Structure 1
Amino acid sequence: MSYFAEQNVVGSLLMDGDAIERVAAILEPEMFTAELLGLVYLEYLRGYENGYTVNLVTVRERLGGDKYPGSVVAEALKECVSVTVTSAQVKSYAEAVRDDYKAAQVGKLLAATRVTAVGVNDQIGKLLTDLEALRDDKAAKAKTLAQIVAEYQNSYFCERPGGIKVGIPHLDDMIGGLEGGDVIVIGARPAVGKSALVTQITTNLAEQGKKIGFYNLEMSDKQLYERFVASQSGLGLTRIRRAVKFLGDEEKRFKKANDALAGRSNIVISTGAKTVSEIRAESRHMGFDVIVIDYLQLIRSDTFYRGNRVAEVGAISKAIKALAMELQIPIILLSQLNRASEGRETREPSMSELRESGDIEQDASVIILLWNMSEDDRSKKGCKIEKNRQGETGKMELRFDGDQMRFRDAGEWQEPAEECPFT
C-alpha cells in the first residue's frame, strides 16, 4: 500500500503543483520508502517553502545524475502520473504514507527493545516516551547516558573527519572547525570588514563542496554579486563597479571568476528583512551544511516587544541557537558592536560590546571580534577569539585588501609597541 500511496502523492503534485499546500504539514520526505519519490516530494516541498515553482521539467533537471539517470527519473514520474486518477485525494494518500511510516517505526522500536527485570520500569518509560513522540509527530529528545555512550564512544581516538574549516589556517587551528549546533558570532564595528570576511568564508566553504544558505539582510543581490566577483577575481571592487572597459588581463580574470561563480549552485542567497521563523521555513528542507546571517541586528522579531530592544535581540539570539540545534548545522551570525571600544587606545573590543544583548554571549559557541589595529593602515586587522566552548581562545593578526574583499593570515599575534599603539 505504501508505494502505491507514495506514487499517488507524487502523481498528484505533478498534475497539480498547488496540491503541496494540502500535504506539506502532514508528510516529510524521510517518510517515503522509495528514495526517488521522496526526493521528488522534497523538491516540491522546497519550492513551496521558498516561493518558487516546481514542475516536471525542474524535477527532472534537479534529480538527474549518476544515481538516478534522466531516463530512470522520467520513467518513475510517468508511472506516478499513470496510477493517479485525480489530485483531489492527495491528502488521504499523504496520511496513508505517514501512517505506514509510523507503523514501521513502531516495529523498529519494539524490535530494538530488550526488556530485563533490572530497570524494567525505566525501560517501559523510555518505550512509552518514544511511542508518544511518534504518535504526536515529534522526535523523542531524551536519551539515557548509556545510549549516548553507545552512539559516540567509537568515534574517538581514531581517524575521523574534523569540523568544517573556514579556510583561514590560523583561525581554523584555534576554532577547531565548525560543528553542528554551533552559533559562531563575528562581531565588529561598521566598515571593519566583517561582511567581507564572511563572503570569503562562504566562498571557501563552497569550494569544499559545502552547501551554504547565505542570508544577507543588508545588501542587494547586485552588491553581493560585486563582492563575490571581487573576491574571486582579485579585481578591485571599485574597478568592477566603475570601469567602462577592460585593461590588461582584466577581461580574462573577470570571465574566469564569473565562470567559477556560475557553478556555485551550492551557495543559496536570500536578501531582504526576515524573521528567524522565516529563515527556518526557508532552510529546514534545503540540506544546508552551514547558514550565514548578515547580520543579527537586522533580523525582524516574530513578537512585538514594545520598544524593549534588548529583550527583542535576546529572543532572536536564542531562536537562532534553537535553529542551529534543530538543523544540527553551524550558523555563522554577524553582529554589530557598540562604540565602547572606540574610546580605547588600542581599539580592541570585548564581547560585552555586542550591541543590544548580553544573551549573544551566552548563546554563541564561538565569538570572533575584529577591529582596525591602526587608523593609518586599515589593512591591519586584529582578530580575537573571545569565546570558544570547544577550543582555545587567543588573538591573531589578519591582513585585509579592502578593494579585493580578501583577508589573509598574517601569522602569530604581535603585541603593539608601547610608543605607538597602532603598529
Structure 2
Amino acid sequence: MASSNALIARIETGEAHYRVSPHNLDAEQALLGAILVNNDAYYRVSDFLEAQHFHEDVHRRIFEVATTLIRAGKLATPITLKTFLGEQDLGGLTIPQYLARLAAEATTVINAEAYGRTIYDLAIRRRLITIGEELVNTAYDAPVESSPRDQIEETERRLYELAETGRYDGGFQRFADALTHAIDMAAAAYKRDGQLSGIATNLADLDRMMGGLQSSDLVILAGRPGMGKTALATNIAFNIAKAYEGEKQPDGSIKTVNGGIVGFFSLEMSAEQLATRIIAEQSGVPSYKIRRGDMREDDFYKITEAARAMQSIPFYIDQTGGISIAQLAARARRLKRQRGLDMLVVDYLQLLSGASKKGENRVQELTEITTGLKALAKELNVPVLALSQLSRQVEARDDKRPQLSDLRESGSIEQDADVVLFVFREEYYLKNKEPKPGTEEYFKWQTEMDQVHGKAEVIIGKQRHGPTGTVQLAFQADVTRFGNLADEDKLPERVGD
C-alpha cells in the first residue's frame, strides 16, 4: 500500500521531531489486507501473532475482531468487520473506507508469515525498549527500601520471560526429529559412565532404578527431620560435580560429557556448614570434630587434602535465605549463562516464598513454587532436586515409612513432580526406644538395632518413566555419608552353589 495515505502521513510527520519506537505500518497493512482477502492467511500467523503485537491501535482492533470471527468459523471481510469496529476518523478515511483500501491493496497470501514475523519481531524490540526505559527510570528514582540487587533480579526476570515468549519456533515438530533426538540421547548414555540416560548419582542401586537424574525432571526428596534429606542431596550433588568432565565444541562452548555443574540453593544451612558436611564426608573425619577443632594431626591432614582436591569442582552454593521462586529462577538462569548448569538442588521447598501476599493460602503458595520449579527444570533443561518436609502424621503410624499421601497437604508437590523420593532410617526411630539395659526387651532391641544399624532406605514413591520401589543404602551418621550397600544378594555367586 502506498506510504502516502493519511494514516502513515500522520505518523511520519512526527518522526522528524522525535525518535519513535520501531514499527512497520506497511507490513501491518499488508498482513491485514491479506487476511481480509483470504482468511487462510490468518492461520499462517495465528500460532505466534497476537493483537498486542501491532503498533497501531486501529490495526490491533482489526486483527482482534478478525481473529474472533475466524475462530468462530465465520468470514472476516471488510463488510463483516465494519459492524464491530464503530466509527473513527482515520485522517479523512472512515473505518469502512480504510478496510476496503486494505483489502484492495492487499498482496499475496504467500507472504503473510513473513509479514507476521516482521510485526512480531518489532513488537519484541518495543518491549525491550520499555524494559530498558523502566530500568533507567527506576534506577534514577528508586524507593528507599528497594536495593539495586532487587532491581537487577526483576529486570532479569522480565528479560527471560520475554526471551521465552519472544519466539515463534514452537508448535509441532516432525516425528523424525524427535527420533533423532532420542537416538542422540541413547548414544550419549552409551558413552557416559554407568551407561545411564541421565546424570549418575554414584549410588548404584538408585541409578539402576532411575537411570540417573533426567534432564527437565522435577525430583522431590522428602522426609521427616533427622532422616538425612540434606545429607543425601549433598552427597548426590557432590558426586555429580566431582565426576564432571567437559568437552570443547567447535563453536568454543563446553559440552558436559560426564557428571555435571551443580547449583545448590541452601536456604537453611550456611555455605560454611554445607562445606563442613562435604569435607567430613570426603575426608572421613566426623563433622563435630571439624567444628570443635578436636582433631589429631592426621585428621587435619585428611581434611586439608580433601579440601585441596575439591578446589576445582564445579559446585556453586547460594546461601541466601527466604528468597522467592522468581529470585531463585533468575539466579539459576544467571548461573547457567555465566558458568553452565547441569543440575539444581533446592534445600528446601518450604523455605521458598511465592509471589502471593503474606498470610494468603500457603497451599496455594506451595503450588506456585512447585509449578515454578517444574517450569524452571524444563526451561534450563536440567534436573531440579527439591527437598521437602513431611507432615507430622507420619509419626502417628506404627510403620513410619513415608508414602505419597503424606505430601497431599502440600498442594501440588505430588502432581508437579516427575519423581518423588522418600528417605527413611529405621535406626533413627529405634534408637529413641532404648529399653532399660539388661532386660529381655533390651536384648531384643539390641538385635533389631544390629539389623538396621548403618542402613537407610530411599523409597521411590513415584516415577513417571520408571518403576517404584525401595533402594537400600549404607549411611554413616558421623560423616553424613550415604553409599552403596554391599549386602549378601549383591555379592558374586559362590562356586558350587
The alpha carbon displacement at 1:245 in A equals 4.2
Distance 1:341 1:413 in 2: 31
State the partner residue of 1:216.
Answer: 266
The alpha carbon displacement at 1:154 in A equals 5.6
The alpha carbon displacement at 1:273 in A equals 1.9
1:186 correspondence with 2:221: yes
- Normalised by the length of structure 2, the TM-score is 0.55
Query: Structure 2 residue aligned with 1:155, among 182, 190, 198?
Result: 182
State the partner residue of 1:165.
Answer: 200
Alignment of 1:4-403 (within 5 A): 127=113, 134-135=121-122, 136=124, 138-140=166-168, 142-146=170-174, 148-153=175-180, 155-156=182-183, 159-161=187-189, 162-209=197-244, 210-247=260-297, 249-287=298-336, 288-304=341-357, 306-354=359-407, 356-374=409-427, 375-376=430-431, 377=449, 379-403=454-478
Distance 1:306 1:364 in 2: 25
State the partner residue of 1:66.
Answer: none
Query: CA 1:120/1:149 → structure 2, altered by over 3 Å: closer, same or farther?
Result: farther
Distance 1:273 1:182 in 2: 24
Deviation digits for residues 312-340 of structure 1 (CA, Å, limit 9, x no counterpart)? 11111111111111211111000001122
Distance 1:370 1:413 in 2: 22
Query: CA 1:396/1:131 → structure 2, altered by over 3 Å: closer, same or farther?
Result: farther
Distance 2:488 2:391 in 1: 24
Query: CA 1:264/1:133 → structure 2, altered by over 3 Å: closer, same or farther?
Result: farther
Distance 2:323 2:488 in 1: 38
State the partner residue of 2:104.
Answer: none
The alpha carbon displacement at 1:212 in A equals 1.0
The alpha carbon displacement at 1:223 in A equals 1.0
State the partner residue of 2:250.
Answer: none
Q: Percent identity?
A: 31
* Bigger shift: residues 371-380 or 232-241: 371-380
Query: CA 1:307/1:413 → structure 2, altered by over 3 Å: closer, same or farther?
Result: farther
Query: CA 1:339/1:131 → structure 2, altered by over 3 Å: closer, same or farther?
Result: farther
Distance 1:331 1:152 in 2: 25
1:408 correspondence with 2:483: yes
Query: CA 1:306/1:243 → structure 2, altered by over 3 Å: closer, same or farther?
Result: closer
Q: Secondary structure at the match of 2:187?
A: coil
Q: Secondary structure at the match of 1:156?
A: helix
The alpha carbon displacement at 1:361 in A equals 0.3
Q: Does the CA-based 8 Å contact 1:399-1:408 persist in structure 2?
A: yes
Query: CA 1:225/1:251 → structure 2, altered by over 3 Å: closer, same or farther?
Result: same
Distance 1:413 1:181 in 2: 36
Q: Secondary structure at the match of 1:300?
A: coil
State the partner residue of 1:38.
Answer: none
Distance 1:336 1:262 in 2: 31
* Bigger shift: residues 321-330 or 349-358: 349-358
Distance 1:214 1:383 in 2: 21
State the partner residue of 1:39.
Answer: none
Q: Secondary structure at the match of 2:233?
A: helix
**Structure 2: stretches of 5+ with no match in the other structure:** 1-18, 24-39, 48-112, 125-161, 190-196, 245-259, 432-448, 490-497
Q: Secondary structure at the match of 2:330?
A: helix
Q: Does the CA-based 8 Å contact 2:321-2:351 persist in structure 1?
A: no
The alpha carbon displacement at 1:401 in A equals 0.7
Distance 1:223 1:304 in 2: 31
RMSD: 2.9
- Normalised by the length of structure 1, the TM-score is 0.64
The alpha carbon displacement at 1:206 in A equals 0.5
